[in-house]
């Protein structure tokens, strides 16, 4: 039985999630795309997709930019509030949709 007057052992850790400390597949920084057929964006295309996404989410951090199997381009962002969102951008570099992390 635990003594209520005893301090917890500082070396004890509790892992409340099977993925604690790991990035989800959809928000893996840098590197390749999150799904087969998706490739990282570079150059002017990346700059335009980033600009469109950040216009929708000022102050967000870009995690990854890629072409997409469902939309034309995706920008994976972390908002200033810490929420992760995927912004879908069309070939005309206009935001066409978004997906939040559930």
Q: Which CATH number fits domain 39-100: 3.40.640.10, 3.30.505.20, 3.60.70.12, 3.40.718.10?
A: 3.30.505.20
Walk along the chain (102 residues) and give the pLDDT tens digit of each residue: 555 554 544 443 333 333 333 344 444 444 444 667 789 999 999 999 999 999 999 999 999 999 987 769 999 999 999 999 999 999 999 999 998 864
Domain ranges of the chain: 39-100
> Using CA atoms, how far apart are residues 83 and 102, in angstroms rounded to an integer?
10
How many DSSP H helices and E strands does the chain contain? 1, 4
Residue 29's pLDDT is what? 45
> Using CA atoms, how far apart are residues 71 and 69, in angstroms rounded to an integer?
6
What is the model's pTM? Answer: 0.66
Residues with Cβ < 8 Å from 46, sequence gap 6 or more? 40, 65
Q: How many beta carbons lie within 10 A of that of residue 69, not counting itself?
A: 12
Residue 37's pLDDT is what? 74
Residues with Cβ < 8 Å from 36, sequence gap 6 or more? 69
């Amino acid at each position: 039985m635990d003594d209520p007057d005893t301090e917890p052992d500082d070396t004890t850790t509790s892992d409340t999630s099977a993925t604690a400390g790991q990035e989800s597949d959809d928000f893996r920084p840098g590197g390749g795309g999150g799904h087969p057929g998706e490739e990282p964006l570079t150059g002017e295309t990346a700059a335009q997709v980033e600009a469109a996404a950040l216009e929708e989410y000022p102050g967000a951090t870009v995690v990854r930019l890629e072409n997409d199997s469902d939309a034309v381009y995706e920008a994976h962002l972390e908002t200033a509030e810490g929420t992760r969102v995927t912004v879908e951008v069309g070939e005309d570099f206009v935001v066409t949709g978004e997906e939040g992390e559930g």
